[in-house]
Amino acid sequence: MGRDLARVLALWSGRGAWLLAGVIAAVLSTLAGVALLVLAGRVVAGAVAQGQPGAVALAGLGLGALLWLRPVMLFRPVARYLERLVTHEATFRALADMRVWFFTRLAARLPAGIGLRQAGDLLARLVADVESLDGLYLRVLVPAASALAVVVAVAVAVGAADPGLAAVLALPLAAALLLPVALAPVAARAGQAVARAQGGLRSAVIDPLSGIEDTLAANAEARASARVAAEGAALAAAQRDLARRAAWGGAAGSLLVQVALLGTLGWALVAGQSGLAAGLMGVFLAIAAAEALGLMPRAGAALAAAGAGARRLFDAADTPEPVPDPVAPAAVPTGHALRVSGLRFRWAADRPLVFDGLDLDLPEGARIALLGPSGVGKSTLAALLLKFAAPEGGRITLGGVDIATLPAAELRRRVTWLTQDARLFDDTIAANLRLAAPDAEDAALWAALDRAQVGDVVRALPDRLETLCGEGGLRFSGGQARRLALARTLLSPASVVILDEPAAGLDADTERAFLQTLDDAMGGRSVILIQHHLLGVEHPTRILRLAAGRAIPAAG
C-alpha cells in the first residue's frame, strides 16, 4: 500500500504547489485556533491562580498579548476559509490529472477494445477508485499535517513551562496521531473489499442495461435484478466492515485524547498551586489538540480506501502494452506503399494460427478488396496493420519501413480504419468529426460531410454542426450514422484507409448507395476494402480472398 500511495503522490507532483499551499493553509488555521486557546488558558489560569475576575486577568495579559489577540481572532476564520478553498482546488486538480493519466494508460493497453475487462469494472476504477484518492489528501495528509503541528506546538508551549507536563500531554497525542498508520494495514483489506464490491455492483448494473434489448427479450430482468441485489448486499457488508474498523479506530483515538486531558488535569492537581497555571494551560491545549486530532480516526479508513483504490488503478494501468513503441524509432517514411510478407499470427499461444505466411501488396493509390467469411481474419489483419497487435512472424512495411520500428501515433497518422461498428459518441457532430482532425475548420467539416453525401442532412438540422448525436449516434438512422463516420474518416490525413465491412447491417439499397459513396470519396488514397462479398459498385484494382491464413487471388 505504501508504494502505491507514494506513486500516487509522485503522479501529483505537477500540482505540488497547490497541494503544499493547502497544507500550509490548514496548519496555519489550526495553529491560530491553538493560539486562541493558549491566550484563553492564560486568562483562566491567571484568574484561578490569583483569585481575580476574568476581566482583570485579561487586562493582566499585557499589552503585547492583547495586541496579538484581535489579529489571531480575525485570522482564524480567514485561514479556515482559505484552507477549504485551496485544499479542495488542489484535490480537484490532482484527481483530474489522475483521470487523464489513467485513461491514457488504458488507451495504450486496450487498443483492440475492452476485451475480457468489464466496462462496469473499468468505470468503477475510473470514477470510484480515483475519487477514493481524494481521501489521501483531504482526510489523511492535510489533517495529519495539522495534527502534527498541534502536537509540536503543544510540546513546545508546555515544555517551556514544565517538561514533565509536556511529556504527559504530548505522548498520548502523538500516539493518537500515529494510530491511523498503525491501523491502516488491517483497514486496507476492508478497503480492498469495498473497492472490489463497488466494481462488481457497477458491472451488475451496467452490463444488463448496455444490452437491455437482449435482457428484456430473454426475460432476464429478474436474474439481472437478483445479481444487482447480491452485489449490493456484498458492497453493504464490505462497507459495514470498513465502518466498524473505522469506528474502533475513532474510539481508540478519542480515548488517547482523553488520556492526555485527564493526565493534564491530574498533573495540575498533584502539582498544587505552583503547577496550577501550567496545568490549566495544558488543559486548554489538550482541548485544542482534540479538535485537530478528532479528524485522525477517519484518516485510517481513508488511507485504507485510498490504498485499495490506488492498487486497483495500477493493476489496470500497469498491464503490459500489447505493442509497445520502439525505444529508438525509425525515420518516418515518405511513401505509403504497404507490404505484408510471410505474416504469422495467433491471438494466444493455445489458439490456432489466423495467418500462416500471409503475403499482401498495396501499392500507393491501389484499391484491394479482401473477401472472406466471418472469422477468417479480415479484421485481425486491420488490427495488425494499425499495431493493435503484433505478429509472431513475418513483417509489415509502410513505405519500405517496418511498422514495428514506427511509433503507433505516427503509423496511425498514415493508416486509418473505418470499423464495421464505427461509433458516434454522445457529443456534437463537429466534435465527432474533429476526432480525426482536431484543428479542422468548419469548412473542412462541411467538405467531408458533402463527400460522404450527408452534408444536406446536417444542413437541415436546426443546430447543424452543433447537433448532438446521442449515445452511439442514436439521433440518426443507420445509414446516416455510417456516412457521418465516413466523413470523420475522410478528415483524417491518412494515405491508407482500411474499410472493414463499412456497410454491415444496412439494408440492400442503403448498402449499395453507401459503397458507391465510398468508391467516389476515397480519391487517390490507398484502400483495403474488407467485405464478405462484392456488390459490383466497389471497383477494386485487385480482389483477394482470405483462406487458410493466406491471401488468394479471386475473380470476385
Question: Which tens digit of pLDDT belongs to each residue from 251-309?
Answer: 777 777 778 777 777 776 776 555 556 666 666 677 767 767 766 766 777 777 787 77
What CATH code is carried by the domain that includes residue 288? 1.20.1560.10
262 plus 385 within the same structural domain: no
CA distance 269 to 263: 10
For the residues 64-87, what does the mean pLDDT come to? Answer: 73
Which pLDDT band holds residue 64 (cuts at 50, 70, 90)?
A: very low
Question: Is the same domain home to 402 and 311?
Answer: no
Q: Is residue 245 part of a domain?
A: yes
- Same domain for 91 and 51? yes
Do the domain assignments include residue 469? yes
421 within domain boundaries = yes
What is the C-alpha separation between 187 and 174, in angstroms, rounded?
A: 20
Specify if 154 maps to a domain.
yes
Are the C-beta atoms of 501 and 441 separated by less than 8 Å?
no
The answer to the question of residue 327 being in a domain is: no
- Domain region containing 313: 2-317
Who wins on pLDDT, 233 or 211?
Answer: 233
Looking up cell 480515548, which residue turns up? Answer: 255
Indicate the number of domains in the chain. Answer: 2
Of 284, 317, 350, the residue at which a domain comes to its end is 317
Residues 69 and 181 reside in one and the same domain:
yes
Q: What confidence tier does 58 reach under pLDDT thresholds 50, 70, 90?
A: very low
What is the distance between the alpha carbons of residues 553 and 504, in angstroms, rounded to a whole number?
A: 23
Q: What number is the average pLDDT over the span 58-82?
A: 64
- pLDDT of 390-448, one tens digit each? 888 888 888 888 888 888 888 888 888 887 777 788 888 888 888 888 888 888 889 88
Q: Assess whether 344 and 291 both reside in one domain.
A: no
Ordered DSSP codes for 386-397: TTSS--SEEEEE
Least-confidence region, from 7-21, 81-95, 113-127, 538-552: 113-127
Are 310 and 348 members of one domain? no
Same domain membership, residue 472 and residue 364: yes
Secondary structure of residue 415 in the 3-state scheme: strand
Q: Whose grid coordinates read 518516418?
A: 332
**Domain boundary, last residue among 317, 351, 369:** 317
Answer yes or no: are the C-beta atoms of 283 and 43 closer than 8 Å.
no
Report yes or no on 305 lying in a domain.
yes
Residue 322 counted as domain residue: no
Query: CA separation (Å) from 25 to 75, 399, 479?
Result: 11, 59, 58
The sheet with strand 393-398 has its strands ordered as: 355-362, 338-345, 393-398, 401-402
Verify that 238 and 113 share a domain, yes or no.
yes
**Domain identity same for 288 and 362:** no
- Based on the domain organization, do 447 and 477 belong to the same domain? yes
Q: What is the pTM of this model?
A: 0.67
Q: Are residues 144 and 34 in the same domain?
A: yes
Classify residue 115 as left (phi > 0), alpha (psi -120 to 50) or beta. left
Answer yes or no: do 437 and 491 share one domain: yes
Domain presence at residue 387: yes
Which CATH number do you get for residue 458?
3.40.50.300
**Residue range 127-150: average pLDDT?**
79
